[in-house]
Homo-oligomer: A and B are copies of this chain.
Amino acid sequence: MNRQKIANIIDRKSHSNWICTAYDWFMVSTILISLLPLMVMKSHKVFWYTELGSTLVFIIDYLLRWGTADIRNDNRKSAFLTYPFSLMAIIDLLSILPAITLLNPAFKLFRFVRLLRLTRVLKIFGISSKVRLFMSILYKERQVLSSVLVLALLYIFVTALILFNVEPHINPYTGQQTFHSFFDALYWATVTLTTVGYGDMCPATDVGRFVSMLSSLFGIAVIALPSGVITASYLDELRRKRDR
């Protein structure tokens, strides 16, 4: 098996064969297995072995990618030098680090870096192009969408500030507090604006309820804005594609 073949398997191209697909599935499975310790309550002895195995796979994958860096980058020899500093290579390297938790548990948090490797799932389902389409819509409308975001954050801040001062810090009837801190109020305002509405914190006074009524009604408009912007932009994209 020469280096060209390995490069083809690692980097799926348009003319993909079953080995590419198998390799991608194998890598995603390995990532999921390596994340297993994060999905259980208590540590288990078997994780020692899964960690060892998945780390080995990650190291081999890393070395294979490094070793074929020149082929995968238009045969530029300098790719061998620049590869370790590319974003994906750093992510790959960081996702190997948690294995050191076998020695020192402090590196456990690095395991979350492996989540970034899950973007490979997009490649398996062949939806990278669609995701790029969404990204291009978000990018094209970045000014409008970021304005909506700033407005929404401002709105959350103002609502939270009003509610935090309107609600009694100690409710005379129930003897309980609605908000324990200003952060609680911010959390409540976000949960209300996005219409999630858990209900773990609710305004208990009439004034607080009135403000939250106003804010949830007004919030519909805030929510409708990004929705409308994305719809309009997507429709535009559709039309342009047809005209071509």
Given A38-B161, A198-B199, are A147 and B127 neighbors across the interface (CB < 8 Å)? yes
Closest B residue to A42 using CB positions: B169
Separation in Å of the A117 CB from the closest CB of chain B? 12
Per-residue interface assignment for chain A, residues 153 to 169, with 1 indicating a CB less than 8 Å from any chain B CB and 0 otherwise: 01001100110110001
- Residue picked from A112, A138, A210, A232, most chain B C-beta under 10 Å: A232
Separation in Å of the A113 CB from the closest CB of chain B? 12
The answer on a CB contact under 8 Å between B112 and A125 is: no
The answer on a CB contact under 8 Å between B236 and A231 is: no
The answer on a CB contact under 8 Å between B152 and A127 is: no
Neighbour of A152 across the interface among B115, B212, B217, CB < 8 A? B217
Binding stretch for chain B, among A53-61, A65-73, A220-228: A220-228
- Residue picked from A121, A154, A194, most chain B C-beta under 10 Å: A194
Separation in Å of the A177 CB from the closest CB of chain B? 9
A4 contacts the other chain (CB 8 A): no
Closest B residue to A237 using CB positions: B232
A22 contacts the other chain (CB 8 A): no
- Cα-based distance from A131 to B127 in the complex (angstroms): 27
In chain A, residues 104-133, which have Cβ atoms closer than 8 Å to a Cβ of chain B?
A: 112, 115, 118, 121-122, 125, 127, 130-131, 133
